[in-house]
Amino acid sequence: MPASTQPDVMDKLVSLAKRRGFIFQSSEIYGGAGSVWDYGPLGVELKKNLKDAWWHAMVRLRDDIEGLDAAILMHPRVWEASGHVAGFTDPLVDCRTCKGRFRADKLQDARCPQKPSKRPGEAEQCQLTEPRLFNLMFKTFMGPVEESAATVYLRPETAQGIFVNFLNVQQSTRQKVPFGIAQIGKAFRNEITPGNFIFRTREFEQMEMQFFVEPGTDMEWFQFWKEERMRWHQGLGLAAARLNYHEHQGSELAHYARAAFDIEFDFGGTLGFQEVEGIHNRGDFDLSRHQEYSGKKLEYFDQPKNKRYLPYVIETSVGADRTTLALLVNAYREETVQGEEEGRTVLRLSPSLAPIKAAVFALTKKDGMPEMAHRIASSLRQHFPTDYDETGSIGKRYRRQDEVGTPFCITVDGESVKDGTVTVRDRDTLSQDRIAADAVRDYVRERIA
Ligand code: GAP
């Protein structure tokens, strides 16, 4: 993978995210829960806009993909059939000296906690154990009494909910192969080395789509989805130079995959290029295993061809949290502003993803300005998230909105009260247009679509 040329902005982002209400550490007042994060008022809007963009592109705009919302808890046999009970493991090594715990296959990327200039095992005093396999699935119990209840798992991927519902969806919607099923939902993995903020966490959201195709057409569809998904990431505003494909070779391939590409994003600094989405050709691995383990036929009947077969599956699987982090990293800028001493921090998020679309200011708290500004804010709120702010200098208010990526700031001044016009300031160009207050809604709406 190419080396990163981008600065490391992670620490600054973690601090901004907390200060401005994007992302908080889970259970912070108890010292925090390991690698679990909560989304605050602005974070929940940003992540929701991202998920809506995915749902719109994958489900609403296509007549060959259906939506689904399967449960997190599933029959335990699902995970035997899927191969996760036997094979969803990472090799784990412990260091007897520093008590650090590492993935044996990622030692080259890890740092010794006692000697950060060295890798685990490199310093003289390091004593690493032999690798042992560690299953990443969280276990819990279904039923009231722990001993007699069945062990169930928190799903480590949303995909299996789609496979077990393949025929339910196909028959109820009368879709014909090729067609897809898409869902957004939580997944859980007891990661050995989580970290880098919301990059690798133990609870996260996936946006997954399984596209069912006739065997023999699978590599064509694989190519199609590989390109389509890259276009989607670029459409979010992620810089093309920061996006990259990585093809899986040999042992890198997951147990279910015949071919796989990652779409990688350059997170900057030492993290560099990392997977945000996986595109996999899963063949008929999952449907044939579920057919075998459940004893239920999952074949598709192709009427025009008068034949039955198990479709092959092309999967697109993207992390909502990891992509949210990519959006924040991609958008973060520290800029100088002409004519001003103080620079600004700005999130240049695409307006369609920005958590707040417009902020309305009263220049001063008198002469009818707050009343007019309040009226405008509440009318805009009917259409998109809108903030109201009347405290501090106008410059300070602009900076506060820049820092959270608000694309438009509307100011009500003395002139506004007389002639019904306001100024609209653009976050990126800093240009200001004076327009009729009545026209603000359409002005913003056209620019945030
Ligand atoms: N169903 C296939 C599957 O789950 P994956 O490559 O293991 O494939 C897909 O995961 C995506 O889910 C990744 O590209 C990443 O964006 C996200 N993801 C996986 N593990 C994650 C974790 N521990 N924390 C945050 N996101 C994760």
The predicted pLDDT at position 148 comes to 66
CB contact at 8 A, 266 and 1: no
The mean pLDDT of 196-221, rounded to a whole number, is: 97
Q: What is the pLDDT of residues 44-103, one digit of tens each?
A: 999 999 999 999 999 999 999 999 999 999 999 999 999 999 989 989 999 999 888 888
| pTM, rounded to two decimals | 0.95
Q: Does the Cβ of 185 fall within 6 Å of ligand 1? A: no
- For the CA of 156, the closest atom of ligand 1 is 4
Q: Which atom in ligand 1 lies closest to the alpha carbon of residue 319? A: 16
318 CA to centre of ligand 1 in angstroms: 7
Reply yes or no on whether the pLDDT at 174 is more than 90. Answer: yes
Which backbone phi and psi does 147 adopt, to 5 degrees?
Answer: -65, -35
**CA neighbor of 186 nearest in space, from 170, 165, 160, 206:** 206
* Ligand 1: residue whose CA is nearest its atom 2: 317
* CA of residue 137 to ligand 1 center, whole Å: 13
Q: 318 CB less than 6 Å from ligand 1?
A: yes
Say if ligand 1 is within 6 A of residue 264 CB: no
Q: Which long-range contacts (CB under 8 A, 24 or more apart) does 255-260 make?
A: 255/83, 255/87, 255/285, 256/82, 256/83, 256/280, 256/282, 256/283, 256/285, 256/286, 257/281, 257/282, 258/218, 258/282, 258/283, 259/219, 259/222
Please determine, for residue 111, whether its predicted confidence score (pLDDT) is greater than 90.
no
Q: How far is the CA of 147 from the centre of ligand 1 (A)?
A: 32
Average pLDDT over residues 276-283: 98
Comparing 34 with 148, the larger pLDDT belongs to 34
Each residue of 371-382: pLDDT tens digit?
Answer: 999 999 999 999
What six digits make up the tokens of 432? Answer: 């200001």
Whether ligand 1 lies within 6 angstroms of the CB of 276 is answered as yes
- Distance (angstroms) between ligand 1 centre and the Cα of 287 equals 21
Joined tokens for residue 304: 């025009």
Residue 317, number of CB atoms within 10 A of its CB: 20
pLDDT digits (tens, 9 = 90+) for 13-32: 999 999 999 999 999 999 99
Provide the mean pLDDT of the chain.
95
Atom of ligand 1 nearest to the CA of 262: 14
> What pLDDT does 297 receive?
97
